[in-house]
Amino acid sequence: MKGNIAVLPGDGIGKEVTKGAVEILEAVAQKFGHEFEFQYGEIGGGAIDNTGSPLPDETVDICRKSDAVLLGAVGGPKWDNHPVDIRPERGLLKIRKELNLYANLRPISYYSSLSEASPLKKELIEGADFVIVRELTGGLYFGKPSERVTREGKDAVVDTLFYTKEEMHRIIKLAFELASNRTKKVTSVDKANVLESSRMWRETAEEIAKEYPDVTLEHMLVDNAAMQLIRNPKQFDVVVTENLFGDILSDEASVLTGSLGMLPSASISTNGPNLYEPIHGSAPDIAGQNLANPIATILSAASLLRLSFGLEAEANAVEQAVEAVLEKGFRTGDIADEQSTKLSTSEMVAEIKTVL
Amino acid sequence: MKGNIAVLPGDGIGKEVTKGAVEILEAVAQKFGHEFEFQYGEIGGGAIDNTGSPLPDETVDICRKSDAVLLGAVGGPKWDNHPVDIRPERGLLKIRKELNLYANLRPISYYSSLSEASPLKKELIEGADFVIVRELTGGLYFGKPSERVTREGKDAVVDTLFYTKEEMHRIIKLAFELASNRTKKVTSVDKANVLESSRMWRETAEEIAKEYPDVTLEHMLVDNAAMQLIRNPKQFDVVVTENLFGDILSDEASVLTGSLGMLPSASISTNGPNLYEPIHGSAPDIAGQNLANPIATILSAASLLRLSFGLEAEANAVEQAVEAVLEKGFRTGDIADEQSTKLSTSEMVAEIKTVL
Ligand SMILES: CC(C)[C@H](C(=O)O)[C@@H](O)C(=O)O
Ligand SMILES: CC(C)[C@H](C(=O)O)[C@@H](O)C(=O)O
């Protein structure tokens, strides 16, 4: 098959890890007889420096014309004091809106070969395997008003949590679809004892649950979910929640397995290309030194093959290659211990290519 | 001295644990020559059953006339399907407003005698000792509008995150005061890359920091804070944040040490009595069986002695008695392991009294 992939390396290690993932995609193309074209676009701090905008129109254009988008990471201390509208992460928020990326999927999986890396005791985390489905374009992120106000003569401020029922419906439905193909449990996280939006969320989940009689629906308050993720992460299969709760819980969950540098994510569009990116950030401290772990981005590329191109065998091949290399004891610095063979970014990519 | 203490046992194990704490307060009174009067009030599910309201006016009255309030816990499956306005936890929200309880303080301390109980690897949590200061009366909890709406013909819903600058100022100031008497570091948690309210929060924190040149102020995004609590909880001294972030992070933090049944909290009023309560809930599954761990409530009573009556020596005596009993290997079921001597609620209270 032929595929057009937009590549947005972004800042810091984003450049190195996307380079690695593109090499793997090229190797997959060669091995399985596909043709991928890569178009590069700017996003984040570098884009601000070169164009004044964290997401230039040209980049949006490149993405819209593509079948799938592969993103590295954005941000760095250089842009930390910029006014809020021209910060690198505005590029992320904007691309979500522009491409209608309404759902962010974050699979959290435990790697037995990395059992020492988890902050949790082994018996708690061993075998954990769940997906957090985060709503990505609503809630407090884009609600208006979001501004300074004066109330009874006092300085005050207001932000707005806004959702349409439709927005809730499509994301919760997606979670049920996912759960149908997994172990058939959806944990819907909300704060229904306080928020009206959470009460609508809960009702919507109940309605959708009726269409999926073989999937169990469980409601969990967000404060309890923050506890349960640590106490008993193995209880989860698919967790679905609104934007800000998802932001907090998915970052919390991402450190549980000790393999932040290994975790991919996929953002699903309503109508255009999906976007794939590692969960980790741009890691300015190690950028440009060939030290970054490329695996999260390579696994994001595997999701791209599966979800955007339907190339299941190819996706599996990449995932198995990663596991094989880990089992041989090869590690980048972030996950290395005494027993492992420490590799640079490019060496890790090369090893994965070898076993592909 | 003479003191009036309002006691609100609430539901489930709330009754048993407040009973235990009152016994300890009586023992303290006797030993140190004080006189405490206890007035009992209803709150939560029991109050709904008896009066139709989760917080009857009479209870508010009793609290207002007191010097300090000791609360057990509220809620239970019996009231889970009540309409949202007459649920037990509405009593909690209402009492916060009625008594102007603007700050919730949750000390998280590691007990070396409970080192096995933590879900975290020992080297990560050992020695952790920090306080979460949660704003308790603003933000999304009480902001208006909070309602269903129709937008462009679509069903939708809105909640409102509202703060005055004054509300931010008083809570952040309290955090700096606390930090001055501790290891002099404030971590202010927000989501300034998305929320206007967080940007005002950050500015306010910066302003207050100028008055405390010996206290270090650090800003941390809430998603990162959710990760850092697990990866490196020892980095924290005083964490201050808005209401909902505080709800999530303080529950997350409360499981780190493995001693949920041991953690007290204090809610500080602007102008009236403070309220003291354990962090744990009403635990309907073990209620009425003399199994609950009374220590969190007893330590809450110690905070009451210290903060509401200035009885530092008495508070220390209670805290030391608890530690002594733990060191002897006495445990209630929730924290017991093979080596420990398992006690009932009343036995635990008796042991603490003995060494007081
Ligand atoms: C950079 C920031 C705006 C963003 C978010 O909160 O969505 C990030 O934390 C993420 O999770 O992708
Ligand atoms: C019961 C609920 C409304 C309450 C809150 O969210 O404040 C509880 O979770 C708490 O933390 O005391």
Q: Indicate the pLDDT class of residue A259, thresholds 50, 70 and 90.
A: confident
Among the partner residues A192, A200, A230, nearest to B148 by beta-carbon distance:
A200
Q: Is A177 exposed, middle or buried (0-12, 13-18, 19+ CB in 10 A)?
A: middle
Rg (CA), chain A: 20
- Residues on chain A touching B162 (C-beta within 8 angstroms): 156-158
Same domain, A242 and A129: yes
Q: Could you report the per-residue pLDDT of B15-35, keeping only the tens digit for each?
A: 999 999 999 999 999 999 999
Among the partner residues B159, B255, B256, nearest to A197 by beta-carbon distance:
B159
Same domain, B43 and B89: yes
Same domain, A200 and A247: yes
Contact A157 B196 (CB under 8 A): yes
Q: Could you report the per-residue pLDDT of A119-160, keeping only the tens digit for each?
A: 999 999 999 999 999 999 999 999 999 999 999 999 999 999
| Mean pLDDT across chain B | 97
How large is the average pLDDT for residues A98-113? 94
Contact B121 A121 (CB under 8 A): yes
Which stretch of DSSP H or E encloses residue A202? helix A196-211
* Per-residue pLDDT at B85: 87
DSSP string, A135-197: E-S-EEEEEEEEEEEEETTEEEEEEEEEEEHHHHHHHHHHHHHHHHTTTSEEEEEE-TTT-HH
CA distance A190 to A249: 11
- Residues on chain B touching A119 (C-beta within 8 angstroms): 120-121, 124, 230-231
Same domain, B12 and B147: no
Same domain, B252 and B116: yes
Whether residue A113 is predicted with pLDDT greater than 90 in this model: the reply is no
* Per-residue pLDDT at A198: 98
Q: Domain containing B192: what range? A: 106-263
CA distance B66 to A197: 37
Question: What is the DSSP code (8-state) at residue B328?
Answer: T
Q: Angle CA(B327)–CA(B329)–CA(B332) in degrees, nearest 5?
A: 115
Same domain, A95 and A135: no
Give 3-state DSSP helix, strand, coil % of chain A, rounded to 5.
45, 25, 25
How large is the average pLDDT for residues B54-83? 96
Comparing alpha-carbon positions, the chain A residue that sits nearest to B244 is A223
Cis peptide before A77 (omega within 30 of 0): no
Q: Angle CA(A338)–CA(A340)–CA(A344) in degrees, nearest 5?
A: 115
Q: Is B223 among the residues known to form the active site?
A: yes
Within a domain: A10 = yes
Last residue of a domain, one of B243, B263, B283: B263
CA distance B346 to B273: 28
CA distance A141 to chain B (A): 6
Nearest CA to ligand 1 atom 6: A247
DSSP string, B260-309: GGG-EEEEEESSS-EEEEESS---GGGTTTT-S--HHHHHHHHHHHHHHH
Total structural domains in chain B? 2
Last residue of a domain, one of A186, A217, A252: A252
Q: Could you report the per-residue pLDDT of B247-299, keeping only the tens digit for each?
A: 999 999 999 998 889 999 999 999 999 999 999 999 999 999 999 999 999 99
Contact A140 B227 (CB under 8 A): no
CATH number for the domain spanning B38: value is 3.40.718.10
Same domain, A44 and A77: yes
Helix B222-231 to helix B243-254 angle (10° resolution) is 10
CA distance A331 to A259: 11
CA distance B353 to B356: 5
Residues with C-beta less than 6 Å from any ligand 2 atom:
A 193-194, 223; B 89, 92-93, 247
Whether residue B81 is predicted with pLDDT greater than 90 in this model: the reply is no
Question: What is the DSSP code (8-state) at residue B155?
Answer: E
Question: What is the DSSP code (8-state) at residue B135?
Answer: E
How large is the average pLDDT for residues A252-281? 95
Whether residue A30 is predicted with pLDDT greater than 90 in this model: the reply is yes
Whether residue B112 is predicted with pLDDT greater than 90 in this model: the reply is no
Same domain, B185 and B121: yes
Whether residue B113 is predicted with pLDDT greater than 90 in this model: the reply is no
Whether residue A25 is predicted with pLDDT greater than 90 in this model: the reply is yes
Within a domain: A231 = yes
Which stretch of DSSP H or E encloses residue A88? helix A88-98
Alpha carbon separation from A250 to A92, A102, A125 (Å, rounded) = 17, 16, 16
Alpha carbon separation from B236 to A24, B108, B150, B240 (Å, rounded) = 41, 10, 44, 11
Whether residue B62 is predicted with pLDDT greater than 90 in this model: the reply is yes
Q: Could you report the per-residue pLDDT of B301-312, keeping only the tens digit for each?
A: 999 999 999 999
How large is the average pLDDT for residues A175-198? 97
How large is the average pLDDT for residues A285-300? 98
* Per-residue pLDDT at A85: 87
Within a domain: A13 = yes
Q: Could you report the per-residue pLDDT of A200-256, keeping only the tens digit for each?
A: 999 999 999 999 999 999 999 999 999 999 999 999 999 999 999 999 999 999 999
Same domain, B86 and B55: yes
Centroid of ligand 2 to alpha carbon of A100 (angstroms): 34
**Cβ neighbours of residue B211 closer than 8 Å, sequence gap 6 or more:** B176
Task: Please tell me whether A80 is known to bind a ligand.
Answer: yes
Q: Is A163 among the residues known to form the active site?
A: no
How large is the average pLDDT for residues B204-208? 98
Whether residue B116 is predicted with pLDDT greater than 90 in this model: the reply is no
Alpha carbon separation from B292 to A354, B37, B323 (Å, rounded) = 58, 25, 18
Q: What are the backbone angles phi and psi of residue B253, rounded to the nearest 5°?
A: -65, -30
CA distance B329 to B286: 22
Residues with C-beta less than 6 Å from any ligand 1 atom:
A 89, 92-93, 247; B 193-194, 223
Q: Is A155 among the residues known to form the active site?
A: no
Within a domain: A257 = no
Q: Which of A239, A346, A242 is nearest to A294 (CA)?
A: A346
Last residue of a domain, one of A224, A252, A280: A252
How large is the average pLDDT for residues A334-343? 92
Nearest CA to ligand 2 atom 5: B247
CA distance B16 to B294: 8
CB A73 within 8 A of CB A283: yes
Contact A148 B124 (CB under 8 A): no
Q: Average the pLDDT over each of A32-36, B85-89, B352-356 and give the range with the smallest value.
A: B85-89
Task: Please tell me whether A202 is known to bind a ligand.
Answer: no
DSSP string, A203-216: HHHHHHHHH-TTSE
Sheet strands (E) in A193-273: 216-221, 238-241, 264-269
CB A186 within 8 A of CB A217: yes
Within a domain: A260 = no
Strands B2-10 and B68-73: parallel
Same domain, A232 and A279: no
The whole-model pTM stands at 0.97
Task: Please tell me whether A125 is known to bind a ligand.
Answer: no
Same domain, B52 and B120: no
Counting ligands in written order, the one closest to the CA of A73 is: 1
Q: Indicate the pLDDT class of residue B337, thresholds 50, 70 and 90.
A: confident
* Per-residue pLDDT at B57: 98
User: What is the token pair recorded at A194?
Assistant: 């306080």
Whether residue A337 is predicted with pLDDT greater than 90 in this model: the reply is no
Same domain, A245 and A135: yes
